[in-house]
Chains A and B, each alone.
Chain A
Amino acid sequence: MARRIKSPTPIYSVKDMLNEQSINKILVPVVNKSSAVVPFHLQIKGMHIFQKAKNKILPMLAEKPQFVETDIPEAHQVALEDIDVSNPFMFRQNKWHSYFKRLRDECPVHFQPNSPFGPFWSVTRFEDIVFVDKHHDLFSAEPAIVIGRTPDGLPGETFIAMDPPKHDVQRQAVQGVVAPKNLKEMETLIRQHVCDILDGLPTGQTIDWVERVSMELTARMLATIFDFPFEDRHKLIEWSDKATNSPEMAGGTGTVDEVFNAALEAAKAFAVLWHEKAARKKAGEELGFDLISLLLSNKDTEDMIKRSMEFIGNLSLLIVGGNDTTRNSITGGVLALNEFPEEFTKLKANPKLIPNMVSEIIRWQTPLAYMRRIAKQDVELNGQTIKKGDKVVMWYVSGNRDERKIEQPDAFIIDRKNARNHLSFGFGIHRCMGNRLAEMQLRVLWEELLVRFDGIDVVGEPEYVQSNFVKGYAKMMVTLTAKDSSQ
């Protein structure tokens, strides 16, 4: 199967990597230093030009894997050593179940030496994944958490891809924005948005659930936590989608130019927003509970705008972190209830099951298929020796279906016992910061859906996203049936 993907192998030689690293080492501090004087959207432009120039000097760097979709054979037809679960069509072709089951049973810690993203280990069982995720002393999250690489020279230092102590400092600076206390206030706003969106939906006619509900609600939620201009909310989604869609990261369909242009636009818009709020603060106005106000009210972060890499990194992490994940859980929940219609009946009879169902949706969907690490030393794991420097991929999507840990793992059971014990939010110091926000949003959505609709029927097959990282949907057509108001 690996061979069916056209890819220049090896993508980068060691020599190129060295050159590249040394170039970046020189560049990054210079950019951060100059950020006090040079507006950072100009720096991003500079990075982009620099990156293009570098690709001319080191043409190997410019080569990207190209992905052409071909039929993936059945898991049992492939030799164990040839299994390559980084194939970005695994989810779309619905082959991931059988491939991961085979790995869990026959080779739970599996090495693939020749993927288009380079060699990597797959960790596929629940317990082993928890072990890797917990041991940040053995496995580093730097420099990136996707199987591939982030586009060269792209600005942004995000704490999801940082180790302690830097990670801890950065996370603590922003985590208040999605802390439960803050969420209590946000719930009212989110509910208003949910009601507004749902009241605008037609019944008895086929609509795209992804566009009308999942994306719309996610955009409004993001606009709320950033206090971003409401009418421009779709920009947030567009930037985020572009930022994660480049092929060398996780097998997507975008281009590096798109990634840079999105970063450029986002940086400009957020700088404007920052300066507006800073001016209001100076004038003695009380600040809100949005992210930028929060950063401005904290001693450690009030001048973050001067550290451009950190600024854009933290903002993009929150936009990207809250985007695909919630969107695809909103869509995935509807799909799950269609595949398991008796659960929908159960739900309508007992709406108290919503919070438990929300956890089950997030497990069943597993919106982010994995997080990646690099071994900091040789590590023995389930009979294999992972060497220092090797890439290690924790496949949450597999661990969440591990029959050793979870009974009937492929079934969607809204009153499942211990539904909260899933891997979708990760574990350890990088555990999802937005988990409570995500759960709250889904809970509010389902509360309001049940009041209004009796049926949400999926029409045809959903369209899946091309990626090995984002497990999601591009489109899903549904027909709504109104609830009989006389009941």
Chain B
Amino acid sequence: MANITFVEHDGTEHTVDIEEGKSLMQVAMDNGVPGIDADCGGECACGTCHVIVDDRWIKATGAVSEEEQQMLDMTPEKEVTSRLSCSVNLSSEMDGMVVRLPEFQM
């Protein structure tokens, strides 16, 4: 089964199965991965589902919309490969992907 790994800020890893069609945020929540708040429930309107995608996988996560960019810009923890996980739709091509969680969600 295709899977992805979330790495908490303290290094703890959580590997979860990919469910195609769901968002990265959704599988994290469904599997109880700590460190994602998702206050707006996936509307790209709160910025609290921030993750940092491993360089090698950033292409696979697709384009960042202007809306997402604007929300990301409000996060002081933003890095070059930052994404809002509710805006990343999972596909089997992401098998093996690694994403880091920031120390804080804003």
Residues of A within 8 A of B (CB): 130, 133-134, 164, 168, 171-172, 175-176, 179-181, 418, 420-421, 425, 427-429, 431, 435-436
Contact A431 B41 (CB under 8 A): no
- Asked whether A130 and B45 contact (CB < 8 A) given A181-B104, A436-B106, the answer is yes
Contact B104 A420 (CB under 8 A): no
Closest beta carbon of chain A to B18's beta carbon, Å:
24
Q: Which of A130, A171, A175 contacts B40 (CB 8 A)?
A: A130
Contacts of A168 in B (CB 8 A): 70, 73-74
Contact A427 B45 (CB under 8 A): yes
- Asked whether A431 and B70 contact (CB < 8 A) given A180-B103, A180-B104, A181-B104, the answer is no
CB under 8 Å from chain A, chain B span 59-106:
67, 70-71, 73-74, 76-77, 103-106
Closest beta carbon of chain B to A125's beta carbon, Å:
14
Q: Does B43 contact A (CB under 8 A)?
A: yes
Interface size on B, residues (CB 8 A): 22
Contacts of B103 in A (CB 8 A): 180-181
Contact B76 A176 (CB under 8 A): yes
Kindly supply a per-residue 1/0 record for chain B positions 24-67, scoring 1 wherever the CB is within 8 Å of any chain A CB and 0 otherwise. 00000000000001111101111110000000000000000001
Contact A418 B41 (CB under 8 A): yes
Contacts of B41 in A (CB 8 A): 418, 421
Q: Which of A134, A171, A179 contacts B43 (CB 8 A)?
A: A134
Contact A164 B70 (CB under 8 A): yes
Q: Which of B43, B74, B104 contacts A175 (CB 8 A)?
A: B74
User: What separation, in Å, do the CA atoms of A168 and B76 have in the docked complex?
Assistant: 13
- Asked whether A175 and B47 contact (CB < 8 A) given A181-B103, A429-B71, the answer is no
Contact B106 A179 (CB under 8 A): yes
Contacts of A431 in B (CB 8 A): 45-47, 74
Contact B46 A427 (CB under 8 A): yes
Contacts of B45 in A (CB 8 A): 130, 133-134, 427-428, 431
Contacts of A428 in B (CB 8 A): 45, 71
Contact A179 B70 (CB under 8 A): no
Contact B70 A130 (CB under 8 A): no
Contact A436 B74 (CB under 8 A): no
User: What separation, in Å, do the CA atoms of A181 and B76 have in the docked complex?
Assistant: 9
